[in-house]
Structure 1
Amino acid sequence: MQTDAIRAFVAICDLGSFQAAADTLHLSQPAISKRLATLEQRLGHALFDRVGRGVALTEAGRAYLPHARELLAVLADGQRALDNLGGKVAGPLRLALSHHVGLHRMPDILRAYIRHYPQVSPEVVFLDSEAACRRVANGELEIAVITLPTVADPQLVETHIWDDPMRVFAAHEHPLARSSPVGAAALAEHPAVLPPTESYTYGIVVAALARLGVTVTPRMTSHYLETLQMLAATGIGWTVLPASMHHEELVPVEVRGLALTRRLGVIRHPQRSLSNAAGALLTMLIDERDADRG
């Protein structure tokens, strides 16, 4: 079927090589190559340039990729709609979690979910929130539970589940810890270790400091908040973490006028049918939120 060739094309794009795509699709490399050649022949365009051992999309490949993704997403959407007809909560659940949410917010929920719906087979991937949004928008994942974007993505629907207050932290011997409370300008006088500049969390921190007239440039960055916690504890720099991650090796630094909170929740595509499995998880998360607020 042509869809098999399209699936092979998208897998090569995502994984960067014919061999990795073959391994993922449980095919031989010659079989992957044959499927791609068939697709290129039907389209009348070469989709890849072979560069050494790697591959690079041609102009035609770049133009065709979003349409290939959309076709696969529509087919998956149709299959979910049919699977939902019986009302049974079963089958695969393609779910992305951000690292912090997965470690600190979801264990009890997933434990209860699996107990209630034993016929569901969760396929959980841990992704940065920004990457999770892209993959939900592309139709590769049904839902993701992440740090919500600071600016709503028009391609996605978001459901706010938790508020996540954040604080500045530093090692006990750090000058900021010894001087707390401090003015926001004091933060710029010392190195910082923060999430990457393209992350939603970094955007929240930078915007809050900008409102106080302060600009900071991080000495080091990491998507993993546990890594930032460790780096700050060594004294390399101050950091910003969820208040719930207060550790004995760190001191919360009171910064006058600075209020930091991020929103955690669920994103999904507004034009895709959620499987019964995904819908049940979303309902469980909303019930959890409402119980906490009630």
Structure 2
Amino acid sequence: MDTQLLSAFIAVAETGSFTQAATRLHLSQPAVSKRIGALEAQIGQALFDRVGRTVSLTEAARTLLPYARKALQEIEDARRALSQLDGRVGGRLSIGTSHHIGLHRLPPVLGQFTREFAQVDLDIHFMDSELACEAVLAGKLELGIVTLPTEPLASLRQRRVWPDPLIVVVAPDHPLARRRQVSPRQLAEHAAVLPDAATYTHRILTHALEREGVRPHVRLATNYLETLKMLVGIGLGWSVLPESMLDDTLVRIDVPRLRLRRDLGLVWHERRTLSGAAQALMRLLPAG
């Protein structure tokens, strides 16, 4: 089967929309429809039911989808393996990373990488670390530069790059700002603004508090650490942020029984042949 036909099929299956698939593939909607029609003609079965604006997978599509993904992945692995035979570092490198890492950790590394490997086209996706790990496992991204999972994920290899100590912070006029030390229970008596419950950072904090027998009163949750910093600064509540984000808009609170840290680093699929570009970027990243 033509890989272009399979790519169109996967895009429609994952987005549930011919229009969104066309946007993803940088094609017109008629071009995507034509490719789906050609694939349906090849296999002799309909792949999608179109009822109004709803697109749903047929049984044939659900059967084909994992094989199509595997086929494209193996072809991409073959291309990477062949590109390494002559030592070339080029092609497209797809990376998923969080906004915080992209803003605060990656710029010097990416700057050096683009200077040394100008033939590589970087395809950077900013997303939650948890989603980036899922995308790497699904074969959609080659590398993730993320907050590392708190528990190992099957088939996902990881390498720590940056240790990232976490601290409890409040606004300068917060009642806790005048305390030299605070217990976890005293902390939990005040409202918090925290990373979303699905994030690794949230889990690190809540597990530490659970060990002390307390639960935080979460007033608001968001995935963006810069937003959390702003919310803390205007007095909406306390939070946990990377130590590197501390400035004069915040006050660090000493909670002796809470020693929090997350690890930032690389993730990749253990069964994926990494491209020369991916290996080159990995070499530029420090070992944590």
TM-score by length of 1: 0.91
Measured after TM superposition, the shift of residue 38 of structure 1 is 3.5
Q: 2-side partners of 1:44 and 1:151: how far apart?
A: 44
Give the CA deviation at 1:172: 1.1
What's the counterpart of residue 218 of structure 2?
Answer: 218
Deviations 1:47-76 (A, max 9, x none): 434354243444554454333222211111
Asked if the contact 2:189/2:217 (under 8 Å) is kept, the reply is: no
Change (3 A) 1:247 1:33: same
The CA deviation at 1:245 is 0.3
Residue 192 of structure 1: CA displacement?
A: 1.0
Q: Which amino acid aligns with 1:184?
A: P
**After superposition, where does 1:1-294 map in structure 2 within 5 Å?**
1-43=1-43, 46-58=46-58, 60-285=60-285, 288-289=286-287
2:170 counterpart SS class = strand
Q: Which amino acid in structure 2 is aligned with residue 223 of structure 1?
A: N
- Seq. identity, %: 48
Bigger CA drift: 53-62 or 167-176? 53-62
Contact 1:98 1:128 in 2 (8 A): yes
CA distance in 2, matches of 1:194, 1:171: 14
**2:195–2:202 Cα contact (<8 Å) kept:** yes
Distance (Å, rounded) in 1 between the aligned partners of 2:282 and 2:102: 15
Distance 2:93 2:14 in 1: 20
Q: Is 210-219 or 248-257 further displaced after alignment?
A: 210-219
Query: Would the alpha carbon gap of residues 86 and 254 (structure 1) be closer, same or farther in structure 2, given more than 3 Å must change?
Result: same
- Gap runs ≥5 in structure 2: none
Residues 229-284 of structure 1 deviation map (CA, whole Å, 9 limit, x = unaligned) = 01111111111100110021111111131010001100011111111111011011
Paired residues of 2:193 and 2:237 also in contact (CA < 8 A): yes
**Structure 1 CA distance for aligned equivalents of residues 40 and 132 of structure 2:** 30
**TM-score normalised by L of structure 2:** 0.93
What SS does structure 2 have at the residue aligned with 1:289? coil
Question: How many angstroms apart in 2 are the aligned matches of 1:213 and 1:108?
Answer: 42
Name structure 1 gaps, 5 residues minimum: none
> Which secondary structure state, in structure 2, belongs to the residue aligned with residue 271 of structure 1?
coil
Query: How many equivalent pairs are there?
Result: 288
| Cα deviation code 1:207-242 (max 9, x no counterpart) | 111111111242211111000001111111111100
**Deviation of 1:108 (Å):** 0.8
Closer, same or farther: CA 9–189 of 1 in aligned 2, 3 Å:
same
Output the CA distance in 2 between the equivalents of 1:203 and 1:63: 36
Question: Deviation per CA, 1:53-112, whole angstroms, max 9, x where unpaired?
Answer: 243444554454333222211111111111111111222211122111111111111111
